[in-house]
Amino acid sequence: MPESRSRIPFLLLVILVAVAALIGGAVARMLPIRSHEPEAPRLLAGASDASLAPLVRKTAPAVVNIAVLQPSPAEQNPLLQDPFFRRYFGVPDAALQPAMAAGSGVIVDGDRGFVITNFHVVRNAEAIEVILKDGRKYTAELLGAAPSLDLAVLKIGAQDLPTLPLGDSGKLQVGDYVVAIGNPFGLGQTVTSGIVSATDRPLGQGDTRRFIQTDAPINPGNSGGALINLHGELIGINSALFSPSQGESAAGNVGIGFAIPSKVVKQVLAEAERAPK
Among 104, 150, 169, 197, the active-site one is 150
CA distance 174 to 198: 6
Residue pair 262/236 in contact (Cβ under 8 Å)? The answer is: yes
Q: Give the single-character DSSP code of 166.
A: B
Q: Could you say which of 104, 169, 197, 223 is catalytic?
A: 223
- Is 245 one of the annotated active-site residues of the chain? no
39 burial (CB, 10 Å; 0-12 / 13-18 / 19+) is exposed
Helix (H) or strand (E) holding 64: strand 63-70
Residue of 171, 155, 147, 152 lying closest to 261 (CA atoms): 171
Determine the straight-line distance between the first and last CA of the chain, rounded to whole angstroms: 115
Sign of the Cα torsion 212, 218, 220, 225 reads: negative
CB of 230 closer than 8 Å to CB of 55: yes
Residue 148 is a catalytic residue = no
Going by the DSSP 8-state scheme, the letter that residue 60 receives in this structure is: G
Residues ≥6 apart with Cβ < 8 Å to 212: 169, 172, 196, 198, 199, 201, 227, 235, 236, 258, 259, 260, 261
Cα angle 155, 159, 163 (rounded to 5 degrees) comes to 80
Q: Is 223 a catalytic residue?
A: yes
| CA-closest candidate to residue 164, choices 223, 102, 222, 105 | 105
Report, as residue numbers or ranges, the catalytic residues. 120, 150, 223
